[in-house]
Every structure is written in C-alpha cells, then in structure tokens.
Chain A
Amino acid sequence: MSTTPDPPDTDVARRHEDRTLPTRTSVAIVVVGTVGLVAVLLGRVGPALVPALVAIAGALALAGGFWAVSSERFRTVGQVAGGLLAFPVGAGFVIGVVGTALVLVEVYFPVPDAGLIAVNALLLVSRLGIVVGCVLAVLGAVLGVRSVVGPATLSRYYWTVVRTGTVPFAVTAVAAGGAVLSEATGGPGPGATPVGTVTGLVGWLATPGPGLHVASFFVLVSAAAMGVRAAVTALPVAELLADRGVGGVGTRRLGTVDRVLLYVGVATLGAALAGLYVDVQFRTPARLAIAVGPGVADLLAGPTGAPALRTPLVAVGLVAAAVVAGTRLLRRAVRASLTGAARRVGPVLVGGVLTLAALAVAAPAFDRLVAEVAGRLPSVFATEFRQVTGSVGEFYGPETVVLGLMTACLVVAGLLVLAGRLLLWLGYLSSRRAGFATASAGLFLATVFAGTLETPAPLVFGGLVVSLLVWDAGEYGTTLGEEVGRRARTRSGELVHIGGTVAVGVVGVGAALAVRAVLAGRAVDPSPAAVAGLVAALAGAVLLVAALR
C-alpha cells in the first residue's frame, strides 16, 4: 500500500471523454489546414471580406452554443449561454449571406452590357460560394475538435433557441397584431402597448360594434365550451365527487357534460366557418336582410352581435383559461425541480433581455440598417427600398421591425440547427465525424468556387489536396480516438499516415498540372463534336466510378 491514487488522471468522466475524442495530432493538422486554406481563400473574395468575417463569427457562435449546451456539468449556465449565443448565430449567418450578396451586387451591378448579366451572376455565385464554404469549414473544424455534434446536442440546442425566441416572437406578434388591429379599427396609432392591444382585442370581442359578426360569435361559443371542458378536466371534480360518496353517478354525469361540451365546441366551430362565409359575403345586416329576408336576418345578426350575449361568453372563456392555466401551473410547480425549471426558464429570460435591448436601441438601429442596406444597392433599387422601409417603419414602428428582424435571426439559427439534425437523421453526416466532414466539404466547396475565378492553378490544386487531407486526418484521428484513445501514444502512426496522404497529394497535383498543360495547349472550338466528346468523357468518368465501386 505505498502508492497514492492520482485522481486527475483516473477520473472516470475524463476517461470516457478520452475515448470519444479524436487524437490531438490529427486535430492539430485539421485545424492548421482549415485555418490556412480559409485565410488564403478569403483573400480571393475581395470586398465581401467583412461580411464573410461576420459570418465566420456567427459560425463560431454556433459552435460555442453547441459546446455550451452539451456541457453536462453546468447545464443551466450552458443553456443560458446557448440562448445568448443564438442571436449572434442567426445574425452572423444572415449578415454573412445577405451582406455578401449585397456587397457583390454593388460590385458587379449594374452591368454595361446585358450579355454580361449571366457572367456576373456566375462570378457573384462563385464568391458567395467561397464565403459559404469558408464558414462551413470553420464551423466544422471547431465542432470537430470536441466532437460535440450529436442528435442529443442538436435537439437540446434547438429547444434552447426556441425558448430564447418565445419572448421576442410573442412581443413582435402582439405589437404587429396591435398595429394591424388599430389600422383596421381606426384606433390609436403605432406603438400601442401589448396590454392595450390585448384589452382592445377583448373589448372588440365583447362589443364588436355595427356590422355582421356571425363567425366571431360562434368562435366565441366554441372557445367558451372547449375552455369549460378543459377546466372541468383540469380541476379535480371527479375526485371531489368521489370523496362525497357520489363517485359513480358523478363520474357518469361528468362524462356526459364532457361529451356535450365537446359536441357543442366542434359543432359551433363548423358553424363559425359557415358564419365566416356569411360575414364576408354580406358584410352588413342590411344586405343580409335583402338576401334572406328581414326575419332570418334579425335572428342571425341580432343575437350574434349583442354585447349582452357576447360579454358573458368572453368572461366564461377567460375564466376557464385562467383556471386551466392555474391548475397546470400548480401541477408543474409541484412536480418541477428547481434546477430543471431554471434550465428551462433561463433561455426564456435571455429572450426577454434581448427583447428589452432591442427595444432600447430600436430607432437608431433601424435607421442605421436602412441606410447601410440602401447605400449598397444600385441607385434605382435604393430609392425604392427607402420608400418601402419608410412606410413599413411608419406603419409598424421601428421597434416592431427591429424586434421582427431579431426574431427572424433566431428563427434562422433554429433552422440551421434543425438542418443539422435533418442531415444527421438522413444519414448524410455521422454524428462522430460530422465536424470534420463539414469542414472538409466546406473547404472543397470554397476551393472549387475559387477555381472558377482567376485563381492560380497550383493554388486550386493545393486547396483540393488540403480539403481532402482535412477529411482524411479528421476521419483517421476520430477512428484512432475511438479505437486506441487519446492518452495512448499514437503520433508516429498518425504522422506516417498523414505523410503518405500528403505525398499522394503531391503526385495528384503533378498529374493535375500535367493534364492542365495538355488542356491548355489545345484550343478547342466549341463544335458539336467537342461537346459530344466532353459529354462522353463525363459518362466515361461516371462509368469508371461505377466500375471502381
């Protein structure tokens, strides 16, 4: 008994991690290759460098978000951090793609000659492709280092983003709805508070004023019936009846009430659809009276528009909703653990903070955004853009627009995560190798698009070799990490493998240069025979591939 244990090295969690991570040498090679090639390629995008860097920052934020939510030890903090990073993710990607496109539009358009439109569009697509490829490469490389991408992490981050987006989305929806409603009813102008909007909506439901309101009446009846049904289900009525010794009878009666309310709710919802047709078709009670006769019209328009009937319905619906919400909340509060609640509420709070921040800087941000975008557009579009945004800003208010843009950024972030989940689910990416595969694909894409521009051939071929090398090193390192682990001595094997890959790459570059010299030496005129020959060559390549498989 002479040795003392060595906890830092024998920690179980660390040992588990040791077996799931790629080996260090391979990771270093991947990172160096990716960073180097991205730096070289970003030199080819010209004026789009700034939005490209913003997009890369967004990619880093996305990777950071994945890292944050994948932490098992600090889950609440991770969720909050992930929520905070969701907005930079969406904003980075939106600015990166839209900004790059705008900058390039500014460079390539307007064109002096109509024939150049297609050519310039291709050039624009190429540069956009380089930017997107570089962003993907950086994202993939950073994710691959810790190999955090997996179905669980993606789902978790997706829900974090959704929770972060709830408050901005709700506030935007209420504000936009208020703007539309006040426009429709001629009420107060833009900038109505959410509370005012809600009370206005309730007031309109209770006393709608002149006109036909058949549909909304039936919707009210349906909502009240369903609300009462939900409230009866939520409240412990059956248990209380059983306590008083009338359980059997009470339960049967409750079942009957439940069924009746359900039928009423569904039937009135159907009636509401018919009512919608009546509302839209006739608009006023007078026109309805002309069409169906005054007796029927009074019977239809009178009760449906009467505040005396509608107000109790609204009240019943609201009370039922409050009861249901109250009981649900109580049940959850009883069951929920504090940490679990904090984990869920954290991102929502982050969304609230983001909303407040957006509201605080809304007006200057809106003006700045409009000026920035309009300044980059060709003058014809710029004037039109200013007009449209001006009227939109006037109608909804700059706060609503800025909030809406923020919500859109969060939606983009959520969609990105969802896209990753979809790719995993469809099997295009395997969760263990997703990071480096993405990095390699991004580098390859960027190199190919760089090749369509006036890039020196050796650089393009070198880029192809590096993109394949990144894939090879990443895949090899991940497999090695799984089989042998990170703590084992693996460097000599890795260096020999990578050395072999580099050597083959040099041979490949030599072959490509030779082929290019041969191709460059022959000027081929675009005759039908040459086109047929090219098609035949492509078909031959496809056949070769099939044969090799």
Chain B
Amino acid sequence: MSRVRVRRWTVGLVATLTLLSVGLLYASSTLLAGAAVPLVYVLYGTLSGVPEGASVRVTRAFDRSDPAPGEAVGVELTVTNTGDRALPDVRVIDGVPEELAVTSGSPRVCAALPPDGSTTVSYEMVAKRGEYEFAEPAVRLRSAAGGERATATVAADGDRRLVGTNTVREPPLDDAVLPRVGTLPTDSGGSGLEFHATRAYRPGDPMTRVDWRHYAKTGEFVTVQYREEQAARTVLVVDARPVGRVTGAPGYPTGAELAAYAGQRLYDALERSGITPTVTAVGLEAEGLDGLVGPDGLPWVDGNGRNRTAHAERVFRAAQGVGEREAGEAPSTAVVADGRGRPGGPTDSTGVGVGVGAGATDPDEERTNRLLARLPPDAQVVVCTPLVDGWPVDFCRALSVRGYPQVVLSPDITEGRTVGQRVGSLRRNLRLRRLERTGATVAGWQLGQSIDHALRRSLPHLLR
C-alpha cells in the first residue's frame, strides 16, 4: 500500500498569516485570536493520518452465471474493514472489464467504515459473448483530514470471471429438422414432378411428355411441362457497412455485429440442413481478409469451395469485430438516431478507393453493382442487415428486377426512447414495408426475442 502525504491544509497557514497581519494592522485582538482557528486546522491536517495496519476485504458476487449476450448482470461488491481502527474514507473502484458497459448503478463507492463494518455497492452491466476477467479493485484510503492517502489494489474474493454463453455453435433445437431441403421450386416449366402447364408440341420434345389423351380427343400434339426444380444456391450477404456500426445504447451490440451474428446462425442452420450457402459481406473492404477478397473488393466464400466453413467463420468474425471495434472507438456516435439515406463520412471513408473504378460513383451503388456481378443466376439471396439506411432496400429492388428471390433478416437496434431513435425506428419500419413491396421475405428480429424465432420465420420460406 503506497502512502502519499497531501499538503492539503497549507491554506490554513496562509489564513493564519493573513489574520495575524490584518490583526496587527487594525490592532484587533479578535483577528489575532482568530488566527488560532486556521492554525488548529493545520495541526489537524498534520496529525491525522491513515491508521497503521489498515486493511479491507472486497468480495464480488454476480447475480447469475452464464448470462446470454445483451442480458443484464447484477454485481454486488462488498467492502469490509478488517482492521481494528475505523477508516473515515474508503474509496473502492471495481475493475470492470473495458468491454462490458455498466448500465445502472456505479462500480465505485466512497464510505466511512468502522472496524468490521462493511458497505455493499450493486450495479448492473450488459453481458457479452465470451469470457471477461475482472481486474482487482483499486482501494484508496484517506485520513479524516484528507492529509494522507494510501492506495492499493486488493484481490477480490468471490466471482472474478464473467462467462457469456450462447455460443454460435450451439444448435437451436427447434430448428434441428427443417421440413424439406435441397431443392427450390421455380416458376419455370420443364422437367420435374409437379404439373406446371401445357404448351404446343415442338419438334424434339420427348415422347413421354406428349399428352396423348389430348391428342386422342383433339388430334393436336400438346406437351406437358412440369415445375422445374433447381438446386438451391443460397448467398448470404452480411451488411457490415460503417453506417450500421451503431448501437441503441452503450455496451449493447452494434447493428453490424448483430447482422453478422444472425448471418452466422443462419449459416449454421442451413449447413445442418444440407445446404452450404455462399457467404459474402459488404463493408469489410478494409479488413484485409487475405485470400477471400476478390479483385472487386468483396470477400466471397463459395458454398462449394474448400475450407468453406472456416472461411465463412472468418468473414463473420471480421464483420463482428469491425462492428464491436467501431462502437468502442467512438462511443459518442453510439446512439442510433439517424436512419437517413446515407450518412456521408464513415461510409465513404472505407468504401472509396478499394474497388474497381471507384472514381466518382456512389460507394453504395458500387457495392450493389459488384454484388450483382458476382451473384450466380440461380441464387437466392439472404441479406442480414440492421436496415439503418436505404441501401438494402435499393439492393433488394435491384435483385427483384433481376428475378432473384430474396430474404431479409434484420435485427432491430432502434428500440431506444430518444426522439432520434424513434424517428430511426419509424424509418426502419418504412423500409421494411418497402422491402415487402419489392417481393422480399422479411423477418425482423426484435432484440427482446430469441433469434431462433426470427430464423424460424425466415427459413421455412426459404427452404420450403
């Protein structure tokens, strides 16, 4: 325990000298006698000190173990004076990991403790995925007059490590078996199982497809067409653009993080169902995903490629990491308010200069074009996006024009109460509606609900 003397009551000396001088000038016995008052304070400051052998014990307790990400965890910190002298001023600061945000209460306390006395401070923080080690609490003792202070870190008893559960690999039990997988019914007729339409016979049509009954009735050759079935190629697009790297409240996951999380869960569910989707992400141009990024700047993990799961994992991690990092770097922008078309700065800063011909064109348009160029013709596209700006809508409209089936899975980060957040929420709802009008299947994920619910809503449409 390091002890420092603080020259706090030097003001008392100044006051004493002032009183003596003015008292002599005015020949005032009151003022001369009054010099005793600050002098007593000087003595007080000199004599009082932190008692020798002072010691405190700190105990920490979490109110739950294995919290889910985003869940509030209550912490109780109990400080006990284990010495035999009273401590007039004990200040304790708990070593909350930097990544976890305290949302209610304060992990700090200042109290006076008699021998064996104790005080308890409780606070809440938001859990995240992963393990977080608490640092040892810092303890500072002061003398009654504040003239001496002793500082130390004390190892806390009790809980030290917060483990956030709900890892991505854990299967959502409800979705373990999906109704029917692997093929996608289309609206074009051809060879298949289900009746689709009839058309006039053309030379070269197989004999088995000629409708002989019709020929018997009318004498005309008619060919029966069945609903064509294609192998489903699913492309997962994770929206990790800078504009989505915002959160409703400090400490909560950002939109980009949640989009990546949803994408990863969807990927796992699809993989278990026998489909390996192709994975790509927008907004990761500057992330240096070596080997995954093509010349157009898009990370692309082909569903038929080698090591696809590991590569997809890398993309998801990069998207989550960039979302998390952004939130940590700029806490002042951590409130979703905007929701306007395209907030210039951050989008441009990473978008420009990476791709092909990124001259004067709009980076968002550029992204749309690159994605469209890459998409295989028979793909169905799943977009995971927080929908905080208009790009996903434009993108889906472009997809719909080209006849791609689309699914949008959107975590909602606009649940706050401020005016800006409400406006953002309204605009997000409008975008959802516009998406539905373009023909996309839309699944919103309210953060209060389990993600499995949202997955269930999006997957049956996708894989029927």
Cβ of B89 within 8 Å of any chain A Cβ, yes or no, is: yes
Q: Which of B99-107, B316-324, B375-383 contacts A (4 or more CB under 8 A)?
A: B99-107
Cβ of B278 within 8 Å of any chain A Cβ, yes or no, is: no
Using an 8 Å CB-CB cutoff, how does the interface string of B45-62 with A read, 1 for contact, 0 for none?
Answer: 010000000000000000
Contacts of A458-517 to chain B: CB distance below 8 A: 460-461, 464-465, 468, 471-472, 475-476, 479-480, 483-485, 487-490, 492-497, 500-501, 504-505, 507-509, 511-513, 515-516
* A3 proximity list for chain B (CB < 8 A): 70-72, 126
Residue of A nearest to B24 (CB): A534
* A111 proximity list for chain B (CB < 8 A): none
* B283 proximity list for chain A (CB < 8 A): none
Number of interface residues of A (CB under 8 A): 68
* B41 proximity list for chain A (CB < 8 A): 468, 501, 504-505, 508
Once the chains bind, are A12 and B331 in contact (CB under 8 Å)?
A: yes
Using an 8 Å CB-CB cutoff, how does the interface string of B94-123 with A read, 1 for contact, 0 for none?
Answer: 000000010111101111100000010100
- How long is the Cα–Cα vector from A504 to B112 in the complex, in angstroms? 18
Cβ of B182 within 8 Å of any chain A Cβ, yes or no, is: no
* B72 proximity list for chain A (CB < 8 A): 3
Q: Which of B10-18, B171-179, B435-443 contacts A (4 or more CB under 8 A)?
A: B10-18
Once the chains bind, are A452 and B31 in contact (CB under 8 Å)?
A: yes
Q: Which of A88-96, A293-301, A537-545 contacts B (4 or more CB under 8 A)?
A: A537-545
Using an 8 Å CB-CB cutoff, how does the interface string of B1-40 with A read, 1 for contact, 0 for none?
Answer: 0000001101111011111111110101111111111111
Quote the shortest CB–CB distance from B63 to chain A (angstroms): 13
Once the chains bind, are B17 and A542 in contact (CB under 8 Å)?
A: yes
Once the chains bind, are B249 and A497 in contact (CB under 8 Å)?
A: no
Once the chains bind, are B250 and A497 in contact (CB under 8 Å)?
A: no
Once the chains bind, are A496 and B121 in contact (CB under 8 Å)?
A: no
Cβ of B44 within 8 Å of any chain A Cβ, yes or no, is: yes
Once the chains bind, are A493 and B17 in contact (CB under 8 Å)?
A: no
- How long is the Cα–Cα vector from A511 to B41 in the complex, in angstroms? 12
Contacts of B270-310 to chain A: CB distance below 8 A: none
Once the chains bind, are B34 and A461 in contact (CB under 8 Å)?
A: yes
Cβ of B447 within 8 Å of any chain A Cβ, yes or no, is: yes
- How long is the Cα–Cα vector from A541 to B103 in the complex, in angstroms? 54
Quote the shortest CB–CB distance from B95 to chain A (angstroms): 14
Residue of B nearest to A475 (CB): B8
Once the chains bind, are A7 and B89 in contact (CB under 8 Å)?
A: no
Quote the shortest CB–CB distance from B86 to chain A (angstroms): 9
Residue of B nearest to A18 (CB): B106
* A455 proximity list for chain B (CB < 8 A): 30
Can you name 5 A-B residue pairings with CB atoms under 8 Å?
A: A1-B447, A9-B104, A452-B26, A484-B109, A538-B21
**Minimum-distance CB pairs A-B, first 10:** A5-B249, A516-B33, A508-B40, A496-B112, A508-B37, A488-B106, A493-B110, A490-B110, A488-B108, A515-B33
Interface residues of B (CB under 8 A from A): 7-8, 10-13, 15-24, 26, 28-42, 44, 46, 68-72, 88-91, 93, 101, 103-106, 108-112, 119, 121, 126, 140, 144-146, 248-252, 331-332, 334-335, 415-418, 421, 447-451
Interface residues of A (CB under 8 A from B): 1-13, 122, 126, 440, 444, 448, 451-452, 455, 457, 460-461, 464-465, 468, 471-472, 475-476, 479-480, 483-485, 487-490, 492-497, 500-501, 504-505, 507-509, 511-513, 515-516, 519-520, 534, 537-538, 541-542, 545, 548-549
